Amino acid sequence: MQTRLILSDEEWRKRLTPEQYHVLREHGTERPGTGCFLGTQEPGTYVCAGCGNPLFRSGTKFESGTGWPSFTEPISPDAIVRVRDTSYGMIRTEVRCARCDGHLGHVFPDGPPPTGERFCMNSVALKHLPEGVAPTLLQ
C-alpha cells in the first residue's frame, strides 16, 4: 500500500494550474475534444498530474470517440479508487487517484475486451512519461 499524499487547499493551488486544480480538486471536467492526450499513441505510462502516482499503461489506451482519452484498465487495481457519483442527476462511477484522491474521470461498462470497461479520463489530470522513464512520486 502506498503512502497517501494529503495537502492543504493552498498547497494544491500552488502545485497545480487553475485547470488542473478545477478537475483534480473540484471534480471538474475538461471540455470534450480539448485534451492533449486525444489521439496520442506514445508508449509509456500515464501518471496523476497531482502526485505522480502511476495510473495507466499506454498499451491500454484506446480511441473511444467520446472526446476524452480512454483506457481499458488501470496499471494496478490499487492505483485508483472507485466512488459512486450521483451528481447531475446521473449514477456513475467516479475514478480518483488512490494516492492523492484527485478526480481523474469516470469508468463505464461499455469498453472493449478484455475488461469491458472504459476509463474515461481528463487529459489535464494526467501526465505522460515516455517509455523507459520511471515514475517519481511527488511529495
Q: Which comes out higher in pLDDT, residue 40 or 107?
A: 107
Is the pLDDT confidence value at 14 over 60?
Answer: yes
Q: What is the distance between the alpha carbons of residues 64 and 51, in angstroms, rounded to a whole number?
A: 26
Domains of the chain: 9-130 (2.170.150.20)
**CA atoms within a 13 Å half-sphere pointing along the CA-CB vector of 114:** 4
Predicted confidence at residue 102, as pLDDT, reads: 98
Q: What is the distance between the alpha carbons of residues 125 and 109, in angstroms, rounded to a whole number?
A: 21
Q: What is the distance between the alpha carbons of residues 106 and 103, in angstroms, rounded to a whole number?
A: 9
Predicted confidence at residue 1, as pLDDT, reads: 52
| Residue the block writes with cell 502506498 | 2
- Read off the pLDDT of residues 110-129 as tens digits, 9 standing for 90 and up: 999 999 999 999 999 999 99
Residues annotated as catalytic (active site), given as ranges? 120
Closest CA to 95 of 82, 108, 85, 84: 82
- Read off the pLDDT of residues 63-79 as tens digits, 9 standing for 90 and up: 999 999 999 999 999 99
Threshold 0.85, pTM exceeds? yes
